[in-house]
Each structure stands twice: as C-alpha cells, then as structure tokens.
Amino acid sequence: MTDIRYTKEHEWIRLDGDSATVGITDYAQSQLGDIVFVEVPDEGKAVTKGAEAAVVESVKAASEVYAPVSGTVTQGNAVLGDAPDTVNSDPAGDGWFFKMTLTDASELDGLMDQAAYDAYLKDCDA
C-alpha cells in the first residue's frame, strides 16, 4: 500500500512497506523559490517527530525541514548535494530528502491525507 501524508509545515511522507520517504511539497518549494543548498541527514541518524532533520536554503532564506514522524534515517538523497534545484523541479519525486524507518507507524494517523492537505493549502493562501 502506498500512502502519502502531509504535515502543516509542508513536508510529505510516503510509506512503502516498513520504510518511508520524506520530502517537501510543491507549495513549499514554490514559497522558497530557487533552492541553492540542501543538507540531508546521514544514514543511521535518529530523528524525532517535529524536530529538525534537514536544511533547505534558497537565495534569500534558510529553512529547517522537520521529521514528520520519529524513526531512523536509512538514506539521504545524495543527488541534492550537487543539484539542490531538483527540489524545485521535482519536489514529490527525484527531489526527495531522506528515507527512514518508523518507530511508531501510528504517528502517521496524526498527519493530513491528500484531501485534508489540499484544503489546508487553501487556508495558507487566503
């Protein structure tokens, strides 16, 4: 089963079996503008739901990316080191930030599904 969930801070997390992939949404990349630097976590790093897990910087601002759920990083996206603008061009695909295992899969239940996130975006732009 593939299921994408969203945070209020505009991260997405896609569950594939026991593993999950994390990135930032198209809305997030459009708000940031031209992304010039991304720092992803190393394999084996423990991340905590709602705490900083990665960094993304545009020309004008630095932002923290939060872990949507708690768990352990299994892979950071090495492509983003040399091509951070991949996050602009393909935020939901090749621009993923890191893969992780989940400590408690039930934490996903507290996140928004696609319909809820779409409704939330309307409020963000209001």
Report which residue type is found at 13.
Answer: I
Q: Whole-number minimum distance, CB 41 to other proteins, in Å?
A: 12
Distance CA 73, CA 12 (A): 15
Q: Are 47 and 28 in contact (CB under 8 A)?
A: no
Q: Which is nearer to other proteins, 18 or 123 (CB)?
A: 123
Q: Which is nearer to other proteins, 33 or 110 (CB)?
A: 33
Distance CA 81, CA 61 (A): 17
Distance CA 76, CA 107 (A): 21
Q: Whole-number minimum distance, CB 18 to other proteins, in Å?
A: 25
Q: Which is nearer to other proteins, 57 or 94 (CB)?
A: 57
Binding residues for other proteins (CB under 8 A):
9-11, 24, 28, 33-34, 36-37, 39, 55-66, 81, 84
